[in-house]
């Protein structure tokens, strides 16, 4: 257990060993509308889900779908993380484009 401001926390603190800014693009094929998220990718040196991605939507919204303004994803690996990104975008009819 770690101590935070005199309180015990059940969640240990891990160090960030890698951090990068990413831009994720997608397209809504039926409308040819583009979707963009700026992201912060972090990899920590421990934990059950050490890879995380904080996504922030870049306006304008496509006419055909209302995307969430922010979304967070955690995973065991980078591969799993980007699979979850593809799943997240797919819920809104958006195809991942890099």
Is position 10 within any domain? no
Is position 8 within any domain? no
For residue 84, the enclosing domain spans 15-96
Alpha-carbon gap, residue 95 to 34, rounded angstroms: 9
Is position 7 within any domain? no
pLDDT in tens, the chain (98 residues): 444 455 555 667 899 999 999 999 999 998 889 999 999 999 999 999 999 999 999 998 888 888 999 999 999 999 999 999 999 999 999 999 97
Q: What is the domain count for the chain?
A: 1
Alpha-carbon gap, residue 59 to 37, rounded angstroms: 9
Strands (E), the chain: 2-4, 7-9, 16-28, 33-44, 51-58, 70-75, 95-96
Is position 27 within any domain? yes
> Which run of H or of E encompasses 80?
helix 78-91
- The predicted model scores a pTM of 0.83
């Amino acid at each position: 257990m770690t101590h935070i401001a005199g309180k015990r926390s059940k969640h240990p603190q891990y160090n960030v060993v890698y951090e990068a800014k990413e831009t994720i693009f997608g397209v809504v094929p039926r409308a040819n509308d583009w979707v963009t998220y700026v992201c912060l990718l972090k990899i920590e040196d421990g934990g059950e889900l050490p890879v995380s991605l904080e996504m922030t939507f870049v306006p304008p919204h496509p006419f055909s779908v209302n995307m969430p303004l922010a979304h967070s994803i955690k995973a065991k690996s980078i591969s799993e993380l980007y699979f979850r990104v593809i799943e997240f975008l797919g819920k809104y009819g958006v195809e991942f484009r890099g």
